[in-house]
Amino acid sequence: MLELKKGVDILAETGGVRTIDEAKAIIQQHLDAENLEKLSPITNEEALVKIANAIALCEPDDVFIDTGSEADGALIREYSLRKGEEKKLAKDGHTIHFDLPQDQARLVNQTFYIVNEGEKLSALAKSTLRADALQYVRDNMRGIMRGKTMLIGFFCRGPAGADAAIPAIEISSSGYVFHSAALLYRNCYDRFDAEVERKGLFFTNLHSEGLNRPEDVPNARIFMDRSWLTTYSAFCTYAGNTLLMKKGNHRFSVDCATYLRPGEELSEHMFITGMAGPGGRKTYFAGAAPSGCGKTTTAMVGTEFVGDDLAQMWIADDGTVRAVNPEKGIFGIVEDVNREGDPYLMDCLRGDGTEVIWSNVLIDADGVPHWTGNGEPAPLEGVNFQGEWYQGKTDDQGNEIPMSHKNARCTLLCSAIKNHATEANADPAGVPIKVVTYSGRDADTMPPVWVAKDNDEGVAIGASIVSAATATEIGASGVRRQPWANAPFIPGPLADYMDAQFKFFNHANLSKEGKPIMAGLNYFLTHADRGSAGKGLLGEKRDVKVWLGWLELYAHGDVEAIETPIGYIPKYEDLQKLFAEIDKEYPRSLYTMQFSIYVDKIVDRIDLQTEAYGKEENLPTQLFEVYEAQKVALAALKDEHGPIVQPDQLG
Ligand code: SPV
Ligand code: MN
């Protein structure tokens, strides 16, 4: 359930502004003539009341309205440098921002949904009662911007006018957050009122870093008020905790899709990318992967890269699934980004002419950034996320401190990347999604690629993603279930979200050609887990092109596949041809290792998922039907061929 405008509006309660006249008086009092003039095109009364309340609560010294103009962008960059939030690097347009050592990733244990009494949430979500959140905001955010400037900007999460695009207000005292917002989100100052009118709602985000001291980080909170579509964030700077147009508003978008347009719209933690196929056709993919599992790299393998993190999807009148990227930039992990795996991104990071905000990498004495896994000689010393650094430096537990944090990032415009489909990313019609993929970090069970036999099985692939924990979330460890790679961002019960997935991918309005195929991807199989004496992973980053290339062909019926109980897998000869196109030998022995069906392991996985989902209330029965049918087929397969079945025993 999603009940909008239910319970106390914390911002209004703490700001004390109730009417548009009171709001106008506060605004008049705190904005200088220039900024008043800049705010004048914004006439939406609800938006003005939100802004006035934010001012009344946070008590900034002054207020700056970001119109998205070049001049305003320059002022924001200057403000960030003046405050010391960013520093210039040797290369023109490059800056470094350090988050406090305690604030290097999403603070999952300090991130809460605000709930009303009696409201049901996802079993995987942390929540706090409305009254407690109100108390926190009152105690901690009153006057938090004293001595600072409040920056206010108007954005749209998606090309203005797109069916699934949603407008958002960003309010922060951080120049870094606003500089990042300028690269990552579409400014929609000119069309904000119209977009709110069209969509019928907007999101509001309020952040302040406060004094930005390590001792304050334990008191940092990230709140999402589902009922009032407003986020609050204090005492942190890491963009995943502060630039809440990203994951904070993604959570609201999931709610809006699930409860306001169930089965008609989806909001996913997915890249969007296109692959050129035979005859110059373009086939678009949307793919989910948990944080830190190669989503950005996969997106950039496409010939028509659209976005690397989020997708807003809907069913269009022409019977296709359409997707827009709510962002226009990337906030990408830099660890292991190198020439071989990510050539276009490396051109931006090491070449001239791209504006880049680096965060939490090592800066050497010459003002050059360095990071782990870049394939370049490492400097002996410099400054990184924890201060002075030299090779071999250890922390107080005796562990070696890496050159750059595992979650160190680069922020830049997508359009800077050579294969970016900038026009497609600006089109409110979105791109037609023909292939949907789900991937995790799975060392030992699923093959590199398999296609669901129907879309119920496809939804089950999404439901069954697992991964090893990654560095993007503080406090996580071990192997975990990662439903749709979206679970951290699903506010309501998983059953509701899952039901919307089954409805969406089987929607009666989808045409035969428009209905996407759904597939699993896994780049993380290891030699050891496939009984080989070899070391490390069975595949390499460049293989991604082959897996996507095969799916592109399969989606158009240009290749045949081998049927297995879990879905369709590629034939050796087709893969061999695709590997030849990337100048790589593809021995049959490798194919056999990668695509053999490890029956017992898959059954164990199904049992794990069945048990875990069995604990959720009102789960759609289709999921259990898919699992049960697969188990029966796997048992029959094992009876016939034993526990490990090679693809040539099936073909
Ligand atoms: C992720 O962790 O999935 C990200 C970065 O995309 S964050 O903004 O922290 O969510
Ligand atoms: Mn993400």
pLDDT digits (tens, 9 = 90+) for 256-312: 999 999 999 999 999 999 999 999 999 999 999 998 888 999 999 999 999 999 999
489 CA to centre of ligand 2 in angstroms: 10
- Which one of 271, 291, 310, 439 would you pick to mutate in the ligand 1 pocket, going by the greatest count of ligand atoms within 8 A of its CB? 291
Per-residue pLDDT at 468: 73
Whether the per-residue pLDDT at 476 is higher than 70: the answer is no
pTM recorded for the entire structure: 0.96
How many Cα neighbours within 13 Å face the side chain of 390? 0
Contact present, 440 and 483 (Cβ < 8 Å) = no
Check residue 125 and give its pLDDT: 84
Which atom of ligand 1 sits closest to the CA of residue 470? Answer: 2
| Bridge partner list, 537 | 526
User: What number is the average pLDDT over the span 572-594?
Assistant: 97
Q: How many residues does the chain have?
A: 651
- Interval 467-481 mean pLDDT: 61
Ligand in nearest proximity to the CA of 292: 1
How many beta carbons lie within 10 A of that of residue 263, not counting itself? 19
In the prediction, which pLDDT does 123 show? 78
Q: Model confidence at 475, in pLDDT bands (50, 70, 90)?
A: very low
% residues pLDDT > 90 (the chain): 94
How far is residue 12's CA from residue 321's CA, in Å, rounded to a whole number? 39
Atom of ligand 1 nearest to the CA of 472: 2
Q: Are strands 270-276 and 230-234 parallel, antiparallel or unpaired?
A: unpaired
Q: Longest C-alpha distance within the chain, in Å?
A: 81
What residues does ligand 1 touch, defined as CB less than 6 Å away?
106, 239-240, 246-247, 291, 309, 331, 472
**Mean pLDDT confidence for 122-143:** 94
Residue nearest ligand 1's atom 5 by CA: 240
Tally the C-alpha atoms within 13 A of residue 189's C-alpha that lie toward its C-beta: 15
Q: Is the dihedral of CA 444, 450, 452, 458 positive or negative?
A: positive
Give the residue, by CA position, lying nearest to ligand 1 atom 8.
240
Q: What is the pLDDT of residues 447-471, one digit of tens each?
A: 999 999 999 999 999 999 998 755 5
User: What is the residue with the minimal CA distance to atom 7 of ligand 1?
Assistant: 240
Q: Quick one: average pLDDT of 74-89?
A: 98
Q: Which ligand is nearest to the CA of 246?
A: 1
Residues 31-40: contacts with CB within 8 Å, 24+ apart?
A: 31/62, 31/63, 31/65, 32/62, 35/62, 35/63, 35/64, 35/65, 38/65, 38/67, 39/65, 39/152
Residue numbers annotated as active site: 293
Which residue has the CA at smallest separation from atom 3 of ligand 1? 291
> Cβ distance 42 to 154 under 8 Å?
yes
* Proximal ligand: closest to the CA of 269: 2
- Looking at residue 471, its pLDDT comes to 53
- State the closest ligand 1 atom to the C-alpha of 246, by its place in the atom list counted from 1: 8
CA of 326 to the centre of ligand 2 (A): 12
Using CA atoms, how far apart are residues 408 and 401, in angstroms rounded to an integer? 13
**Ligand closest in space to the Cα of 247:** 1
Instruction: Please give the pLDDT value at position 120.
Output: 82
Distance in Å, CA 291 to ligand 2 centroid: 5
What gap in Å lies between CA 43 and CA 65, rounded to an integer?
Answer: 14
Q: Whose CA is nearest to atom 9 of ligand 1?
A: 240
pLDDT tens per residue, range 225-260: 999 999 999 999 999 999 999 999 999 999 999 999
Strands (E), 447-566: 449-451, 466-468, 479-481, 517-521, 561-564
Query: Measured in angstroms, how far is the CA atom of residue 47 from the centroid of ligand 1?
Result: 27
Is 60 exceeded by the pLDDT of residue 316? yes
As a whole number, mean pLDDT of residues 364-392 equals 97
Distance 240 CA to ligand 1 centre (A): 5
Ligand 1 atom at shortest distance from the alpha carbon of 247: 10
How much distance in Å is there from the Cα of 407 to the middle of ligand 2? 12
Closest ligand to Cα 243: 1
Q: What would the two tokens of residue 162 be?
A: 């797109």
Q: Which atom of ligand 1 is nearest to the CA of 106?
A: 9
Tens of pLDDT, residue by residue over 182-205, are 999 999 999 999 999 999 999 999
- Which ligand is in closest contact with the Cα of 330? 1
Token pair for 91 = 């290369």
The distance of Cα 379 from the centroid of its chain, to the nearest Å, equals: 31
Distance CA 427, CA 422 (A): 9
pLDDT at 1: 85
Question: Is 473 a residue whose pLDDT tops 60?
Answer: no
Q: What is the pLDDT of residues 317-370, one digit of tens each?
A: 999 999 999 999 999 999 999 999 899 999 999 999 999 999 999 999 999 999
Least confident piece of the model among 42-46, 58-62, 104-108, 477-481: 477-481
Task: Please report the DSSP string for 83-106 in residue order.
Answer: TTSSEE-SSTTEEEE---TT-SSB
Ligand 1 atom 10 nearest Cα: 240
Alpha carbon of 483 to ligand 2 centroid (Å):
14
Residue nearest to atom 1 of ligand 1 (CA): 291
Tokens of 237: 């700077």
Distance CA 605, CA 309 (A): 27
Q: What is the mean pLDDT of residues 399-411?
A: 97
Expressed in angstroms, the distance from the first to the final Cα of the chain is: 47
Query: What average pLDDT does the segment 485-496 reach?
Result: 95
pLDDT band at 124; cut points 50, 70, 90: confident
Atom 4 (ligand 1): residue with closest C-alpha? 291
Residue 247 CA, ligand 1 centroid: distance in Å: 7
Q: Tell me, what's the pLDDT at 651? A: 73
**Interval between CA 586 and ligand 2 midpoint (Å):** 32
Three-class SS state of 528: helix
* pLDDT tens, position by position, 586-617: 999 999 999 999 999 999 999 999 999 999 99
pLDDT at position 474: 53
Q: Does residue 472 register a pLDDT over 50?
A: yes
Band the pLDDT of 117: cuts 50, 70, 90. confident
pLDDT for position 469 = 57
Mean pLDDT rounded to a whole number for the chain: 96
Domains and CATH numbers, the chain: 10-88+108-260 (3.40.449.10), 265-330+422-649 (3.90.228.20), 331-415 (2.170.8.10)
- Which residue, by CA, sits nearest to atom 2 of ligand 1? 291
Distance 428 CA to ligand 2 centre (A): 22
Amino acid 477: pLDDT:
41
Kindly report, residue by residue over 156-176, the tens digit of the pLDDT.
Answer: 999 999 999 999 999 999 999
Q: Ligand 1, residue 290: give the atom nearest the CA.
A: 3
